[in-house]
């Protein structure tokens, strides 16, 4: 347990819930909007967080919006690229005496790290591959040059490569409904 705690990253935006926890179920307050950022796998995540915190019968519920950006390098051309992310956070944090396995708990000093919750929500909505906006041209799957594989001068030269090319979707198929 000790080592697990030591491995936790530093808190991002701790919110003291003592006043709310002193109330019975039904209490609620709007948290002052704040921003938080973090670097993950060479990409920078920035979040603007707007949440309300409600008292529940076993802790608090943190609900609101997380808007932000993901900044890194384009997966195709390696130029700097960014994506706008827009997601929601809806988490219940429990008082220790109501703890259940795997539940988020209210921490020391009756605090919850709302900044970390927001960054986790943003990370769940991240782009798996960042691309330029507007998108840069797709790279050739055969030679890596700046043309579609169907136009590749190397197409058909090597039977193994031709086999690969046959696996690529035909041009202009993007956006077609599936099923
Ligand atoms: Zn690009
Ligand atoms: Zn090519």
43-100 tens-digit pLDDT? 999 999 999 999 999 999 999 999 999 999 999 889 999 999 999 999 999 999 999 9
Q: What's the CA-to-centroid distance between 175 and ligand 1, angstroms?
A: 20
Contact 96, 56 (CB under 8 A): no
| CA 13–ligand 1 middle distance (angstroms) | 34
Question: Which ligand ends up closest to the CA of 137?
Answer: 1
E strands along the chain, which residues?
14-16, 28-30, 34-40, 43-55, 59-73, 80-94, 104-105, 111-113
45 token code pair: 């995540």
Query: 23 C-alpha to center of ligand 1: Å?
Result: 52
In terms of Cα–Cα distance, which of 76, 65, 78 is closest to 33? 65
Quick check: 160 pLDDT over 90? no
Per-residue pLDDT tens for 111-133? Answer: 999 999 999 999 999 999 999 98
The rounded Å distance from CA 113 to ligand 2 centre is 49
Strand partners, 30: 52
* Greater model confidence, 94 or 176: 94
pTM > 0.75: yes or no: no
Kindly indicate the confidence band of residue 1, based on its pLDDT and cuts at 50, 70 and 90: very low
Supply the Cα-derived Rg of the chain in whole angstroms. 23
Whether residue 156 contacts residue 142, with contact meaning beta carbons closer than 8 Å, is answered with no
CB 60 within 8 A of CB 17: yes
């Amino acid at each position: 347990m000790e080592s697990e705690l030591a491995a936790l990253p530093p808190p991002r935006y701790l919110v003291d819930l003592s006043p709310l926890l002193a109330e019975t179920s039904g209490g609620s307050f709007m948290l002052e909007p704040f921003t938080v950022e973090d670097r993950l796998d060479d990409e920078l995540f920035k979040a603007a967080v707007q949440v309300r915190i409600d008292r529940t019968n076993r802790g608090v519920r943190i609900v609101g919006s997380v808007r932000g950006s993901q900044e890194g390098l384009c997966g195709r051309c390696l130029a700097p690229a960014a994506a706008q992310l827009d997601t929601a956070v809806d988490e219940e944090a429990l008082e220790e005496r109501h703890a259940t396995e795997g539940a988020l708990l209210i921490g020391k000093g009756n605090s919850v790290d709302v900044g970390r919750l927001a960054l986790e929500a943003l990370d769940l909505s991240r782009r798996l591959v960042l691309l330029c906006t507007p998108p840069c041209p797709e790279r050739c799957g055969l030679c890596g040059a700046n043309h579609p594989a169907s136009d590749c001068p190397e197409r058909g030269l090597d039977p193994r490569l031709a086999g690969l090319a046959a696996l690529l979707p035909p041009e202009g198929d993007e956006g077609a409904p599936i099923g």
